[in-house]
Amino acid sequence: MKGCTPGQVAIVLAGRFKGKRVVCLKNLPSGLILVTGPFKLNGVPLRRLNRAYLILTKTIVDVSKVDVTKVEDSMFRGKKLSIKKRKEFAAKEEPKRRATRSDDLLKLQKSVDTGVLASVKSVKRMGSYLSSNFTLSKNQRPHLMKF
């Protein structure tokens, strides 16, 4: 499977963000693709996505000024809550919670997104394109579509 070119817009096909159009940033060594919404446009944070569940389109956003060289797979491996905390939540009968994102990731999210948003704004209608969802309508045939 080919990876993405940095800045390529992709359509997410499955998962929580299905239908969203996102900007691919990097191919990670694990084989996953690092992606960002940008968060303000469509609610997709810096995230790793599996290439099999993305349609890579030919639209490319200029991300040459965005620095993602330090991003690694290990930054995304979610830390499980300790058993003690999980029991606390269970005792309070609250819904299950995952550990929140690390501050490093949140900072990185901001810095990456400002760079991506700057190039998105320079292209006409790119912002509204990334905010919109992909959907198949009645007579659309994916085998005839050129992504």
Partner 1 sequence: MAHRLHLNGTILSYQRGQRTLHQNFCLVEIDGVSSLNAAKYYLGKTVFYAYKVKKTETNKKGLRLIRGRIVKTHGNSGAVRVRFTHNLPPTSFGKPVRVQLYPQH
Which residues make up the interface to partner 1 (CB under 8 A)?
1, 13-14, 18-19, 51-56, 133-137, 139, 141-144
CB of 135 to partner 1, least distance (A): 4
Give the nearer residue to partner 1 in terms of CB position, either 1 or 83. 1
Please check whether residue 68 is in contact with residue 34, taking contact to mean a CB–CB distance below 8 angstroms: yes
CB of 97 to partner 1, least distance (A): 20
* 3-state SS class at 25: strand
Show the CA angle centred on residue 59, arms to residues 56 and 61, nearest 5°. 110
Give the nearer residue to partner 1 in terms of CB position, either 74 or 135. 135
Give the nearer residue to partner 1 in terms of CB position, either 19 or 127. 19
Distances (CA, A) of 45 to 5, 64, 70, 76, 137: 19, 19, 17, 12, 27
